[in-house]
């Protein structure tokens, strides 16, 4: 189930449909981006995550492709490797990146994400 849920989340992110994420994330969803620039980010609660992602989609659009999935032993999440291809909307430049993400699930929704990526590639 969790890999299928992650694939649905990636489809929604690729469509930049932030409103649809409210059906896939819990109210207390936490997004951690330890390598975000200029400093690490921790966004807590759907009320904070939705506007954060809306602003991001005003700057970039991208698709995410899952390359590997490793289920957690306790069954409440997974570690995924994935790639992105996208475009910086203001600059018109393409970008691509690789990610490792820890995704945790509760009641068929995502409640936590910690995503690692190369911030130098994200900033181009």
- CATH among 3.60.21.10, 3.40.50.620, 3.10.450.50, 3.40.605.10 for 2-122: 3.10.450.50
Considering the entire predicted model, what is its pTM?
A: 0.93
The residue extents of the domains of the chain are 2-122
pLDDT for 50-64, tens place per residue? 999 999 999 999 999
Placement of tokens 């929704």 in the chain: 109
Q: What is the pLDDT of residue 121?
A: 76
pLDDT for 83-116, tens place per residue? 999 999 999 999 999 999 999 999 999 999 999 9
Distance of CA 97 to the CA centre of its chain: 12
Size of the chain in residues: 124
pLDDT beyond 70 at 122: no
pLDDT beyond 80 at 124: no
Residues 6+ apart with CB under 8 A from 98: 81, 82, 83, 84, 117, 118
């Amino acid at each position: 189930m969790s890999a299928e849920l992650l694939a649905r989340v990636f489809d929604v992110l690729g469509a930049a449909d932030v409103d649809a994420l409210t059906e896939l994330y819990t109210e207390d969803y936490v997004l951690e981006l330890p390598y975000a620039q200029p400093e690490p980010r921790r966004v807590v609660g759907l009320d904070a995550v939705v506007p954060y992602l809306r602003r991001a989609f005003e700057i970039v659009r991208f698709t995410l492709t899952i390359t590997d999935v490793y289920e957690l032993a306790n069954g409440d999440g997974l570690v995924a490797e994935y790639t992105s291809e996208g475009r910086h909307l203001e600059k018109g430049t393409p970008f691509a990146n690789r990610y490792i993400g820890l995704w945790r699930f509760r009641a068929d929704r995502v409640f936590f994400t910690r995503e690692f990526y190369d911030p130098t590639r994200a900033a181009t």
